[in-house]
Structure 1
């Protein structure tokens, strides 16, 4: 006996649907005039709480919005060119060993060639700030994505988590670009570390989104000692991270130029705390609610998948080792 399954219409790629949704939401967000205070402007907590709110709502959208806001902050800090009206910006600064871009100065100006990896928003951005290696060191450039020689390859992304962020490899072939700042201007500015905490605020929002399913379930089902213990544990975790973000925001506003030399230490602490909090929230919620919401609640399942992937931007023990080395070096002075 043979059985024929009627699958109906051919299913669309859920990754493509996720990209379309996040890209449309990102366009609409900017169309409505969304903007954030600059880091260190006196309203840093407002900036980070706005990013947290987007992260709680939708992590891929928050990833795109955070990149746009970070690009504007970088341009303002290093005196870069004014972005075009309606520009959708990002920052592509990852430099893994297998994905490097070379900058060459020619008589006609700077040009980039190579493969840039981890390029979020590759299909929706109009321009990106891109790091590249030049003869005089690592530099930052403004890349117009409509230029000839720009090719986007989305095929390397295989995970459902953060698929909506449209993170791709971008291949550049002799593409003209505009230099932004001096060599190492991107890395050597205080805002590099302030921006890293902005990413942690997005992670915090993602953790809140996952935790919301636990709290909603607890309210609907009523008292249960184990479930209530989980709710309490998650609340403590999120409250601690929120307090850390508040303290960090006040410190950034009090010393935006990092005259005290504490920006790196602060950012590494908050990022590590946010990553650990996110991991613990995922674990507590997953163990308490079981497989049910992961299998039958599409929104919750997407949040869990997105947060699981996004938190890996923190490199765990490797980042903790770098932080510990900095703490040790400062203590030895």
Structure 2
């Protein structure tokens, strides 16, 4: 019998996570089954905490725990949870234009906010409502989802967020040429919209200026970190199995495991501290400091830790597990692609601009 998944803890105890541990068992049983994972995402949207609501640390622990089981599973659950949070935040800020009292309801949602050269999505007034037309790139699992939060260009030259049904006849999902070896079950392609009704979620600029935008970015980082924990656990398990078979780990392997341990421990503690500050309202409350600068620090710090863990574990385990251990090889490929959502030096340059203006704690 397969052992129950081990949660990734930031500051909670297993007892604190007990109401949600059965969900981790369900995720483990549904690896690779997108409809089943989407059903779990819908259920999680009803019961899991939302960011900034007093239990952010639990939310991030659950996201990290899912990713430690299977990175692609986290890539399914996280966008739906983000959409649920966006709908809730919009309903609280703009009760007159909320998409409906039911929120996300029983539907599976995505969040499509990426931009790309040569594509443009326009939102225009039409009678008493709004319609969107054009193309949106990087829409993961669009053909399997019911609805999405989508950003589009507006008449006033800005961008705004809208709730849109992906089942409308004016929606066409491309079959993407997805050749990636990582996240193979989660293809991302373009979606075309032709006069599709859209419900505004706040006005122009609200989507990117709300604190929840930074919170969502940090939630993705929690998924990256959980994937790195899964890789580290594979490494430790492999060393233990080798020792049991008479092959004791050498100093190089032990040094690598030690560096992995201190790297992950430091980042886990950092996220716990940030989550606590989100919930008590002190995050970004210092003079000249913003929530977005902290989000960039979190994402950059986690991305660097993930890259280091991938390098340490990959170089020490060698080619054998990558060639013959399906779960490990999948995890390595999935995580390497997922963490590329961090833009490396470009994101650091953005953080540098903020630090130059004094938006830093030092």
Give the TM-score taking structure 1 as reference length: 0.89
Q: Give the 3-state SS of the residue equivalent to 1:172 in structure 2.
A: strand
Alignment of 1:147-162 (within 5 A): 147-162=168-183
The corresponding residue for 1:273 is 301
Matched, 1:327 2:355: yes
Distance (whole Å) between structure 2 residues aligned to residue 122 and residue 281 of structure 1: 31
Alignment of 1:4-15 (within 5 A): none
| Superimposed CA distance per residue, residues 145-179 of structure 1 (whole angstroms, 9 cap, x where no aligned partner) | 11011111132322021122232211111211111
Distance (whole Å) between structure 1 residues aligned to residue 187 and residue 33 of structure 2: 11
Matched, 1:107 2:127: yes
The corresponding residue for 1:284 is 312
The corresponding residue for 2:270 is 244
Distance change >3 Å, CA 154–CA 210, structure 1 → 2: farther
Matched, 1:87 2:113: no
Q: Give the 3-state SS of the residue equivalent to 2:33 in structure 1.
A: helix
| Superimposed CA distance per residue, residues 98-147 of structure 1 (whole angstroms, 9 cap, x where no aligned partner) | 33211111115211111111112212211000000011221111110110
| Superimposed CA distance per residue, residues 12-42 of structure 1 (whole angstroms, 9 cap, x where no aligned partner) | xxxxxx9962332222453577632121111
Distance change >3 Å, CA 247–CA 109, structure 1 → 2: same
Alignment of 1:151-300 (within 5 A): 151-222=172-243, 223-224=248-249, 225-255=251-281, 258-260=284-286, 261-300=289-328
Matched, 1:53 2:65: yes
Distance (whole Å) between structure 2 residues aligned to residue 331 and residue 199 of structure 1: 22
Q: Give the 3-state SS of the residue equivalent to 1:326 in structure 2.
A: helix
Per the TM alignment, residue 257 of structure 1 is displaced from its structure 2 partner at its CA by: 8.4
Q: Give the 3-state SS of the residue equivalent to 2:144 in structure 1.
A: coil
Distance (whole Å) between structure 2 residues aligned to residue 272 and residue 316 of structure 1: 7
Q: Give the 3-state SS of the residue equivalent to 1:163 in structure 2.
A: coil
Give the TM-score taking structure 2 as reference length: 0.82
Distance change >3 Å, CA 239–CA 263, structure 1 → 2: same
Contact 1:141 1:179 in 2 (8 A): yes
Alignment of 1:294-309 (within 5 A): 294-309=322-337
Distance (whole Å) between structure 2 residues aligned to residue 209 and residue 257 of structure 1: 29
Distance (whole Å) between structure 2 residues aligned to residue 242 and residue 185 of structure 1: 30
Contact 2:31 2:73 in 1 (8 A): no
Where structure 1 has 5 or more consecutive residues not aligned to the other structure, the ranges are 1-17
Distance (whole Å) between structure 2 residues aligned to residue 61 and residue 114 of structure 1: 30
Distance (whole Å) between structure 1 residues aligned to residue 49 and residue 196 of structure 2: 32
Where structure 2 has 5 or more consecutive residues not aligned to the other structure, the ranges are 1-29, 92-97
Per the TM alignment, residue 272 of structure 1 is displaced from its structure 2 partner at its CA by: 0.2
Per the TM alignment, residue 182 of structure 1 is displaced from its structure 2 partner at its CA by: 1.1
Alignment root-mean-square deviation, CA: 2.0
Distance (whole Å) between structure 1 residues aligned to residue 113 and residue 225 of structure 2: 22
Per the TM alignment, residue 66 of structure 1 is displaced from its structure 2 partner at its CA by: 0.8
Q: Which of 314, 322, 345 is equivalent to 1:317?
A: 345
Contact 1:123 1:166 in 2 (8 A): no
Per the TM alignment, residue 191 of structure 1 is displaced from its structure 2 partner at its CA by: 0.9
Q: Larger relative CO (CA 8 A, sep 6+): 1 or 2?
A: 1
Range moving further from structure 2, 260-269 or 41-50 = 260-269
Distance (whole Å) between structure 2 residues aligned to residue 154 and residue 19 of structure 1: 22
Distance (whole Å) between structure 1 residues aligned to residue 307 and residue 121 of structure 2: 33
Q: Give the 3-state SS of the residue equivalent to 1:237 in structure 2.
A: helix
